[in-house]
Structure 1
């Protein structure tokens, strides 16, 4: 697998900056990883030491794959509010754009704003032809976000170990569907 060096990639939306995660983001990430409600559908909470190991996944993905979820920075405060973007670990059911935000960022439209920019980037820069979202059956908030993004429920899916017993649905859309929907606006 050959990765293109994209470590300086930055996307901007009206309210957000999306960039590769940095060491100074860790305290915010650790806060997210300790929040039971925020982590309910993404594998559960992690103590700080385990959160550090998870934190290193995204910069590692950027180095090895040339993409990973973006650190999402709220422009008005400069705070890290979550991770949103492309994600495809070994054995994953497809090319995913996923999300996880700190609870203080919920209900502000940030997830839609950042996911839209990330999907555009995945299709335009990575050349993906399809985007999925692996969503827990009971995660109604993420299901609603997927709908707002134009994705549809494609049915049950399966994640690789150690998450193979977690019931998920695969939501998604093709690049052509995404572009057609964007052209209508």
Structure 2
């Protein structure tokens, strides 16, 4: 299967590679000060376009990146989620960002397990992390629901070196045991 054909379906969602048509909603997310608060801050459209291209570029160069999260029934772009590892990053991250109108509906905890399963099956990762601001209680709850635990403070590479960040995570063994209902 080619990357262009990669598609994961969950009960309510389709996870696929980013497409140009996703940009309008992505730009809305990036322009929203509250929605972009934990992902580097809000950006104008031109800067959002450059940031949007990071994920397709990651897929082309690294063979992985965040998936676009699409509402299965409406086709609406809800956000991005999945594997992410920029140069100098402190580990293999499973991250996400959601458009504000997708908050509080369980999309992150529905989409991310599918992306974790995909990453562990296809990338050979032995563990994964989530880089979360200490004040971001919503993402901490998502990490906890995924079975990740706080590992402590972490320093991100430039241009984020001054941002307060905590590393949450778990091992492949812990994830697989949890998925199978076994003690980790």
Provide structure 1 residue ranges, at least 5 long, that are not aligned to the other structure. none
Q: Is the 8 A contact 1:7 1:62 kept in 2?
A: no
Partner of 2:99: 102
Q: CA RMSD in A?
A: 1.2
Q: Residue 97 of structure 2 aligns to a residue in which SS? A: strand
Three-state SS of the structure 2 residue aligned to 1:7 is helix
Aligned to 2:63: 66
Deviation for aligned residue 1:6: 2.4
Deviation at residue 5 of structure 1 after TM alignment: 5.5
Give distance in 1, aligned partners of 2:177 and 2:129.
17
**Which residue does the alignment assign to 1:111?**
108
Aligned to 1:36: 33
1:10 to 7, 10, 16: 7
> How far has the Cα of 1:125 moved from its partner?
1.4
TM-score (norm 2): 0.96
Q: Which residue of 2 aligns with 1:88?
A: 85
The number of equivalent residue pairs is: 182
Whether the aligned pair in 2 keeps the contact of 1:7 and 1:63 (CA below 8 Å) is no
For 1:125, what is the secondary structure of its paired residue? helix
Q: 1:169 matched to which residue of 2?
A: 166
Per-residue deviation, residues 3-43 of structure 1 (Å, max 9, x unmatched): x9623211110100000000011101000001111111110
Structure 2 residue runs of 5 or longer lacking an equivalent are none
CA shift digits 1:45-95 (9 cap, x unpaired): 010000000010000000000000000000121110100000000000000
- The separation in 2 between residues aligned to 1:7 and 1:173, in whole angstroms, is 29
TM-score (normalised: structure 1): 0.96
SS of the equivalent of 1:72 reads strand
Runs of 4 or more, structure 1, over 2 Å off, are 4-8
Whether the aligned pair in 2 keeps the contact of 1:5 and 1:63 (CA below 8 Å) is: no
SS at match of 1:71: strand
Structure 2 equivalent of residue 144 of structure 1: 141
